Amino acid sequence: MDNKDFDSQRPRKKASRETIRKRQLIALCVIALLVLILILLIAKACSAGTTGGKKKNEVTTTTTITATTTTSFETTTAVTTTEASTEPANTSDFKLDKYSFDLKVGDTDMPMVQGYPEGSGEWNEQWSSSDENIATVDEWGNIKAIAEGTCFIILRDGGDPSQEVQIKVTVSGEDSTQPTTTTDNTGATEPQSAEAAEAPAPSRISVPEAHYEGDTLIVNKSFALPATYDPKDLDPTCKDWFYKLASGAAKDGVNIYLSSGYRSYDYQNTIYNNYVNEYGTDTADTFSARPGHSEHQTGLAIDVNTIDDSFAGTPEAIWLAEHCWEYGFIIRYPQGKQAITGYKYEPWHIRYVGSAISKKIHEMGDDTTLEELYGLTSQYE
């Protein structure tokens, strides 16, 4: 190569460097623009999260931006948007023991309401389902799984509809209501009912003021619990065996459901005082316990179905009286025993005591009371 040829190449070499610098500058500008777009998208997402409130089937959006620079300084961008379902947060004043359930077709369950908006209570509960083809809910909050899928059970305050909490329910396809089977000596199988097993005695509570007879906690007009005792929910064993009871009733074509379970000292105080204001102390004392004297505070008592005299004589009441002992429960306030228990006949009120005691009472007569079994009184001082 001679000098002339070399000189003729220099201008092109200088122009190439300038082009490279320009391309580098363009690439940097594009990257800066993409960073700015990403910042704006993040700011928008944060703004939506703080102002959007709680909505059904709320979704979050994730945006990914990728910048690629090739050796020739060409810039390629890809924007990918994905959506992911999220469970709505509880922004209400309701407090529940559970905010999601994984059920199988045929299962039933119930979230326990542990706290209400100010001035409200169970009388203001309004329950609904976002998709009754997947799961239904009754007026007391009993959830039943119908078909595979996911839906939301909604609890609203009837006095303030802005107070709303959602419970996510996921239903899988297996029906868990089918009875289990055992195999006899011939190899044949036969159904095994829940009552074939022994319902264990309830766990003892560590409260000095609590009165026990053997493994049985006694709460009546003579024996009370302190205001500080607050288990916040039904006893887990009691709840488990109640659902077995309800399942056994369903197999016999009878619908037994939980209407009222655990009640705190303060909540019972509100209920009792309302009745006193309406009926007077003497009448209220025949059907409502004073605070500390309510079995509902133990977490071992359940009111089922309709909580009034119309429940008496119904197929559900008859079934409950005949079969509740098989699941470790007793009718706590039998007919004709008001002078002993201190309360009028309540066919809807059952108490979990475990199989050892429920069988003993059944053998003595289903209208036998805990006071008669242990030789106790039930009278306010």
Confidence check: pLDDT of 299 > 50: yes
The architecture that CATH gives domain 95-172 is: Sandwich (2.60)
The model carries a pTM of 0.57
**Spatial contact of 361 and 325, defined as CB atoms under 8 Å apart:** yes
Answer for the pair 260, 296: CB distance below 8 angstroms, yes or no.
Answer: yes
pLDDT at 56 exceeding the cut of 60: no
Within 8 A by CB and 6+ apart from 21, the residues are none
Is 31 exposed, middle or buried, given 0-12, 13-18 or 19+ CB atoms closer than 10 A?
Answer: middle
Task: Tell me what the pLDDT averaged over the chain comes to.
Answer: 81
Looking up tokens 């009034």 gives 308
- 112 burial type by CB count under 10 A (0-12 exposed, 13-18 middle, 19+ buried): middle
Per-residue model confidence as pLDDT tens digits over 215-253:
999 999 999 999 999 998 899 999 999 989 998 998 899
Question: What are the residues facing 75 on neighbouring strands?
Answer: 69
Q: Which tens digit of pLDDT belongs to each residue from 63-79? A: 444 444 443 434 444 44
- 295, 316, 326, 346: which one is catalytic? 346
Q: At CA 116, angle to CA 55 and CA 239, rounded to 5?
A: 100
pLDDT at 96: 86
pLDDT exceeds cutoff 70 at 27: yes
Statement: 211-374 belongs to CATH 3.30.450.40:
no
The pLDDT, as a whole number, for residue 329 is 98
Q: What is the per-residue pLDDT for 192?
A: 42
**Whether residue 346 lies in the annotated active site:** yes
Pick from 24-33, 36-45, 147-156: least confident = 36-45
pLDDT of residue 8: 45
CB 127 within 8 A of CB 153: yes
CA distance 316 to 323: 10
The model's confidence at residue 15, banded by pLDDT at 50, 70 and 90, is low
The contacts of residue 247 (CB under 8 Å, 6+ apart) are: 108, 177, 194
Average pLDDT value for residue range 116-128:
85
Domain boundaries, the chain: 95-172, 211-374
pLDDT digits (tens, 9 = 90+) for 332-376: 999 999 999 999 999 999 999 999 999 999 999 999 999 999 999
